[in-house]
């Protein structure tokens, strides 16, 4: 499907309007942080839900809710004040290859992030550049794994500076930073501009983006993310990742 720039923008704006609404929250991983009202609870539950956001959506939601239950449905309080006895009951497989040992490390690492590095937002605010959060993702990953850890756990946080599209973290950052009046994204992190967000890129959104001529690169990697960023920012320099709703909706709901 080849459209000129004006027609493509009109087409995608229409799809954003269709899918950027609260009707789609219930079936999406963003429903997990929407269970909470406290900033830190939203941040932590959103990060954990995004971490396991691959595969069957029903399974993602079920397993993310189980993670919240294992933290007594008070993620921030649990992260700060858990003890070893609390962690001993986390013996189940959490989600596919994200196992109990991974989850326990994530709990300890998040405590480290909040008590040593002043929280999730502060890291991304500190390491953002004028036009990107990709180097901030790299720095966050380094800080997250400052504690002793099993090397296999590192696969659950991608590094865009090593070529990854970092889809899950870019999705999470959209949730935390984008702000509009539609009630889906939270806009909690006002210290970071939505203009420097990158669109979450996976197989589905990548295929749609190629059909629309938004990317030409065949691999779904950091270079493809950069190419997509350039084209989406050309359509809306202030809020480019709103088009994630369009790419996602076209791929998942319309089989475009």
Let me know if 91 is exposed, middle or buried by CB neighbors in 10 A (0-12, 13-18, 19+): exposed
Cα gap 47→150, rounded to integer Å: 20
- pLDDT for position 91: 87
**72 phi, psi to nearest 5 deg:** 60, 25
Closest CA to 124 of 164, 77, 176: 176
**98 phi, psi to nearest 5 deg:** -90, 100
Residues of the chain with pLDDT below 50 are none
Closest CA to 35 of 49, 21, 23: 49
- pLDDT for position 3: 83
Cβ neighbours of residue 47 closer than 8 Å, sequence gap 6 or more? 110, 120, 172
Query: What are the tokens at 117?
Result: 């590095």
The domain spans of the chain are 5-252
Cα gap 136→142, rounded to integer Å: 10
- pLDDT for position 143: 98
- pLDDT for position 1: 66
Q: Please, what is the average pLDDT of the chain? A: 96
């Amino acid at each position: 499907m080849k459209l000129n720039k004006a027609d493509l923008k009109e087409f995608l704006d229409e799809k954003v309007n269709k899918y950027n609404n609260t009707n789609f929250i219930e079936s999406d991983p963003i429903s997990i942080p929407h269970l909470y009202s406290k900033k830190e609870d939203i941040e932590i539950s959103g990060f954990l839900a995004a971490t396991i956001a691959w595969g069957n959506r029903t399974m993602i939601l079920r397993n993310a809710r189980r993670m919240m239950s294992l933290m007594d449905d008070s993620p921030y309080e649990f992260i700060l004040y858990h003890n070893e006895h609390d962690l001993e009951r986390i013996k189940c497989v959490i989600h596919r290859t994200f196992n109990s040992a991974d989850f326990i490390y994530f709990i300890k690492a998040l405590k480290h992030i909040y008590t040593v590095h002043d929280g999730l937002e502060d890291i991304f605010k500190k390491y953002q550049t004028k036009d990107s959060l990709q180097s901030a993702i790299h720095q966050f990953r380094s800080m997250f794994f400052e504690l002793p850890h099993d090397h296999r756990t590192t696969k659950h946080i991608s590094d865009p500076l090593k070529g990854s599209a970092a889809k899950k973290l870019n999705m999470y950052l959209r949730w935390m930073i984008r702000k509009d009046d539609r009630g889906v994204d939270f806009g909690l992190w006002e210290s970071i501009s939505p203009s420097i967000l990158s669109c979450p890129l996976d197989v589905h959104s990548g295929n749609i983006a190629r059909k629309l001529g938004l990317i030409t690169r065949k691999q779904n990697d950091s270079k493809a993310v950069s190419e997509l960023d350039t084209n989406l920012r050309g359509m809306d320099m202030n809020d480019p990742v709103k088009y994630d709703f369009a790419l996602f909706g076209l791929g998942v709901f319309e089989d475009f």
